[in-house]
Structure 1
Amino acid sequence: MMENFNALVDGLPPSLIYLLIAALVFAEAALFFGFVFPGETAIVVGGVLASQDKLSLPLLLVISVVAAVAGDSVGYEIGRRYGTRLLETRAMSKHRAKVHKAQDLIRRRGAFAVFIGRFTALLRALMPALVGSSRLPYSKFLLFNVIGGVVWVLTFTLGGFFAGEAFDHAAKLAGRGLAIGLAVAAVVALVVWSVRKHRREADEEAEVEAEEAAEEAAEGALERTRP
């Protein structure tokens, strides 16, 4: 996915790259685009491009933070307005385990759940709307939204920036062929980890759905036995 995004922005003028990164980060929670494309991929690639002097790192950080905070604020407003109807949408019903996990996190942690959820792809897409539907005051949400957005953007953008610099340094020391080989190995390891993570999440969702089905069956049997 990261390679596809890198290929997409290759050759584009910096202004369009900034706009594309901002749009992806904004849409992650505002339009639930995080179900399809994690925003962190965009800012990591942005960091790599900044290490190659194709983008300004300070400007990239500012744009990404603003887009993240604004996108989550829109997601919060959607949850506040539509509430429980939001949970009946197809996007939400397909990720029941994550929804339940997010709701439990909100009950236990309150506004701090916004910060915690920022660092998990699906929770990052779900959390603002679920917090909005829980009627948590916007002032509390905004505080942790800003803190989480700043920490998240700094972590992944600078991670991409230093990874890009490390690649260039390795290419100079060991030759570009070896550096590319190491980069490919790192990407393969990341893909394997991502696939296993998604499988684990799918298994968790399947377990939740099985438990819900069993509970519904038990309730139905109990109703039938009542006089």
Structure 2
Amino acid sequence: MTTQNFAAEVAGWAIGLMETLGAPGAGVAIALENLFPPLPSEVILPLAGFTAAQGGLVLWQVLAWTTAGSVTGALILYGLGAWLGRDRLRAIVDRMPLVPLSDVDKAEDWFARRGDQAVLIGRLIPIVRSLISIPAGVERMPLGRFLAYTTLGSGVWNTLLVGAGYLLGDQWQVVEEGVGVFQKVVVVVVALAVAWWLYLRLRDRGRPRHAAGAGR
């Protein structure tokens, strides 16, 4: 299935939900989008805004329900991270040949210092906006803070995309195209970062111990 066909399928599915449930249907769609990132919010949210512009939904209700859906999906992933916990995460990492536990320690330390900003800003980045809830749960970020930053970040993202769909009307697909380009950039940057990290790990593993020690 092509990307265009997938977007059309998602649009049809979202329209069906909104026709059946009204604004809560948009909230359900966004909750599922948080749990299954391949479901594109850049299709669902502008479409909900367009539907509101046509009089099929009330704009403030769309914003309220989609934000509630975002928070609900984020809470489920937070719970998954909390269930996983540090001990299980460290046990998994300990079995991975290229990931030292020291990297986990660094990540934990970074999240302890920057977790608030990570959750808030992460809500504005495709793909990351769903996944950021898991490390927040692993690190047991205080639930009140997690909810506050998640609600704020998700509210901004939802308002931007719903508002764009509302203003653009029949041209709401322009939002999908623009966010799609941004998402591709994010994927490429992440892929390059992972490739560089793997290169460094494999290079370090290939070095003789005395050579590694001499460089210290």
Larger deviation: 139-148 or 187-196? 187-196
- Return closer, same or farther for 1:8/1:17 CA change in 2, 3 Å cut-off: farther
Following TM superposition, by how much is the alpha carbon of 1:192 offset from its aligned partner in structure 2, in angstroms?
Answer: 5.2
Q: Percent identity?
A: 24
For 1:105 and 1:203, the matched residues in 2 are separated by 21
Give the conservation status (yes or no) of the 8 Å contact 1:27–1:71: yes
| Amino acid in structure 1 at the alignment position of 2:129 | R
Do residues 150 (structure 1) and 150 (structure 2) align? no
Instruction: Describe how 1:1-227 pairs up with structure 2 within 5 A.
Output: 1-10=6-15, 14-16=19-21, 18=23, 20-29=25-34, 31=35, 33-34=36-37, 36-84=38-86, 85=88, 88=92, 106-164=111-169, 167=171, 194-218=183-207, 221-222=208-209
Secondary structure of 1:110 counterpart: helix
Q: Unaligned regions of 5+ residues in structure 1, if any?
A: 90-99, 169-182
For 2:115 and 2:185, the matched residues in 1 are separated by 30
- Give aligned pairs, total: 194
Query: For each residue in 1:122-169, what CA deviation from the matched residue of structure 2 results, as whole angstroms up to 9, or x when unmatched?
Result: 21111111011112211221221222222222121111111217x49x
For 1:39 and 1:198, the matched residues in 2 are separated by 16
- Return closer, same or farther for 1:72/1:18 CA change in 2, 3 Å cut-off: same
Please report the RMSD computed on the Cα atoms of aligned residues, expressed in angstroms: 3.6
Larger deviation: 37-46 or 190-199? 190-199
Give the conservation status (yes or no) of the 8 Å contact 1:79–1:86: no
Following TM superposition, by how much is the alpha carbon of 1:202 offset from its aligned partner in structure 2, in angstroms?
Answer: 2.2
Query: For each residue in 1:20-48, what CA deviation from the matched residue of structure 2 results, as whole angstroms up to 9, or x when unmatched?
Result: 5323321344x3x11x2233431122112
For 2:187 and 2:70, the matched residues in 1 are separated by 23
What TM-score does the superposition give when structure 1 sets the normalisation length?
0.68
Secondary structure of 1:83 counterpart: helix
Q: Unaligned regions of 5+ residues in structure 2, if any?
A: 1-5, 94-103
